[in-house]
Every structure is written in C-alpha cells, then in structure tokens.
Amino acid sequence: MQAMIEVRGLTKTYKETDAVKGISFDVEEGEIFGFLGPNGAGKSTTINMICTMLKPTSGDILINGYDVSKEKNRVRESIGLIFQQNTLDTKLTANENLKFHCRFYNVPKNVREERIQEVLAIVDLTESRYSKVETFSGGMQRRLEIARGLLHYPRVLFLDEPTVGLDPQTRAHLWEYILKLKKEQGITMFLTTHYLDEAEISDRVAIMDKGQIIAVDRPSKLKDQLGGDIIELSTNDNDQALKEIHENVQDAEVTVHEGTIHIKVASSDAFISSFLKSLSIPVTKLNIRKPTLNDVFMAFTGRNIGEAGDI
C-alpha cells in the first residue's frame, strides 16, 4: 500500500538557522498521525511545507501520490486544513462560508447542497446554517471550520492545534467528531497538539525536536519502551528515602520531579509490596501509573512539552 503522505529528506534553512534538518516519514492512509514537539521544534515549518504554503530548501513531499512542489493544485485539492488561527469570514453566514469554499475547490454544482447539509450534520450545526459566524461561540466556529475543511472530500485533514483556546467540554466534543470522521469517512488525519493526552488518540505519533524527528511509533509502543510502570511517591524525608531506594533497588530508574520520587519498573505488581516493606520512612503519597506520552516526551527531549513551549 502506498503511503498517503511521504516525506523524504525535507529541509528548510533560513538565513542562519536550520529550522528543519532533513526529516523523513510516512503517513499511512486512514490513520491519525500525531505530530508532537515543543514550540520552535520546526513543526509549523514542516506543516507549511507539506501544505504547499512554504517552499522547502530541499527534499521531496508526496501527498496522495502528488508532488507538492510540482503539482501544487492537485495537492491542494487533496488536503483540508484546520488552522490554529480562525480562518472563517465572520461577517458572512455559515452557509456563505461553505458556499465560497465549494467554489474555491470546484465542488460540482449539483452536489454542493447535499454536501453542505452533510457536513453541517456531522458537526451538528444544521440549525445555525443561516446565522452570521460572528454570533457563533468559539467551539461552534471550530466545528464550522472542520465542516468546511471536509466539503471538498479531502483525502488528508490537517488539524493544527485544533483545540487551542477551547474549554475542556468543547474539546472533548471536538475529539468525538474527529473520531467519528475517521470511523465513518476513513480520512487520514495529520494532527498537532500541545495537549499530550489528546495525542493519545493517534494511531502513531512522531516527536520532533530541534528540527529533527526523534521518534515515530504507536503511542503504546513508545510508552512500552519506557518500561512498565511508574511509581510516584512522596515521603516525609525524601533524601533519606532516596538513599534507601538506591540501597535496596537495583534495576530501576529513579528520578525526582517537584518533590515527588519517580521510580520506573518493569512490573509494579511483584515489586511494590517488597519495596514498601524495605522503606523505613512513612510514605505520605503513593501512586502507580502507566507511562503517558508526556513521560515519553520527557524521556526523549529531557523536558515537559509545557515547559518547552510558550503556550
């Protein structure tokens, strides 16, 4: 099977800095591909190059089999974009925004009405069709943008920080719509987000840092690589506790984050009871959890995604 997006040796060099340093990856048809990294990692630059908005310094990009630098219009027809920034015309109605989009993308006249009804139904905006966009809430505008991005039946939908600035409830709803889309329409999705819990819905994620891709895999695989479980504990005397841990525990990674001791172990079940007996200091807080993408991110980049960015 041919990949929906193929990136080979992609580079972007500005006057003095290399924003993107020769990256390569594939996005398979029908998958949700999460693209993660702190601000300044080169994510936006990469997306802009994939979307025909920025000319690469070198390297090749194929989308849906079309060359991004030679067949721009074919590529543009194949993709839908949901930007971080609002790109609706708020002075126009939802209906007008959708109609203009159909015309920009040469959607055949006889299917326009049907498609507009269809996409509005997907995002539950049928009743607001003839209202001006400026009267919409932030969540409604986002949904309308998603609806608009689907009008021309793109093969790939790019979602660049689609939930920034939305309240948690709206965010949760939006992900429901996105998962529904993947299930019902089989659209390939290319997703960037700062919220790593949201990236968990990805089939695969790529982690980018300092212009390079440092890991591409399924979220579960990446988390497995870190080892089985993470035990977080606080005690009355962390220093003493650490000393005892180092004496008693051999094959575990121990780190301290903000007054909490993190211990990575292959399996917590066998480890925990004997471990707790070995400690002489009372434990005030104990939490056993599976690694999250944030742990993965930290392991690869040495920092939290939140610390690295300015959002």
Q: Using the minimum distance from each CB to another protein, give the nearer residue, 149 or 219.
A: 149
Q: Whole-angstrom Cα distance, residue 224 to residue 278?
A: 27
In three-state secondary structure terms, 23 is strand
Alpha carbons within 13 A on the beta-carbon side of 198: 25
Least distance (Å) between residue 48 CB and another protein: 7
Least distance (Å) between residue 126 CB and another protein: 22
Q: What DSSP state is assigned to residue 84?
A: S
Least distance (Å) between residue 23 CB and another protein: 19
Beta strands in the chain (DSSP E): 5-13, 18-27, 32-36, 58-63, 66-67, 79-82, 156-160, 188-192, 204-209, 212-217, 229-235, 253-257, 260-265, 283-289
Least distance (Å) between residue 100 CB and another protein: 5
Cβ-contact 240, 256 below 8 angstroms: no
Closest CA to 120 of 150, 91, 88: 150
Q: Using the minimum distance from each CB to another protein, give the nearer residue, 133 or 191.
A: 133
Q: Using the minimum distance from each CB to another protein, give the nearer residue, 155 or 264.
A: 155
Query: Which 224-253 positions form the footprint of another protein (CB under 8 A)?
Result: none
Q: Whole-angstrom Cα distance, residue 139 to residue 92?
A: 17
- Residues in contact with another protein, counted by CB under 8 A, come to a total of 27
Among residues 17, 39, 69, 90, the one that binds another protein under rule CB under 8 A: 90
Q: Which stretch binds another protein (CB under 8 A): 24-32, 89-97, 246-254, 261-269?
A: 89-97
Q: Whole-angstrom Cα distance, residue 309 to residue 307?
A: 6
In three-state secondary structure terms, 161 is coil
Query: Which 174-203 positions form the footprint of another protein (CB under 8 A)?
Result: none
Q: Whole-angstrom Cα distance, residue 30 to residue 97?
A: 27
Least distance (Å) between residue 85 CB and another protein: 5
Q: Using the minimum distance from each CB to another protein, give the nearer residue, 36 or 79.
A: 79
Q: Compose the 47-86 pattern: x for residues touching another protein by CB under 8 A, - for all others.
A: -x--xxxx-----------------xx--xx-x-x-x-xx
Cβ-contact 192, 159 below 8 angstroms: yes
Per DSSP bridges, beta strands 66-67 and 79-82 are unpaired
Q: Using the minimum distance from each CB to another protein, give the nearer residue, 87 or 274.
A: 87
How many residues are recorded in the chain? 311
Least distance (Å) between residue 309 CB and another protein: 21
Query: Which 93-112 positions form the footprint of another protein (CB under 8 A)?
Result: 96, 100-101, 103-106
Q: Using the minimum distance from each CB to another protein, give the nearer residue, 120 or 308.
A: 120
Least distance (Å) between residue 80 CB and another protein: 9
Q: Whole-angstrom Cα distance, residue 9 to residue 7?
A: 7
Q: Using the minimum distance from each CB to another protein, give the nearer residue, 9 or 100.
A: 100
The answer to the question of residue 123 lying near another protein (CB under 8 A) is no
Q: What DSSP state is assigned to residue 12?
A: E
Least distance (Å) between residue 99 CB and another protein: 8
Q: Using the minimum distance from each CB to another protein, give the nearer residue, 72 or 257.
A: 72
The footprint of another protein (CB under 8 A) covers 48, 51-54, 72-73, 76-77, 79, 81, 83, 85-92, 96, 100-101, 103-106
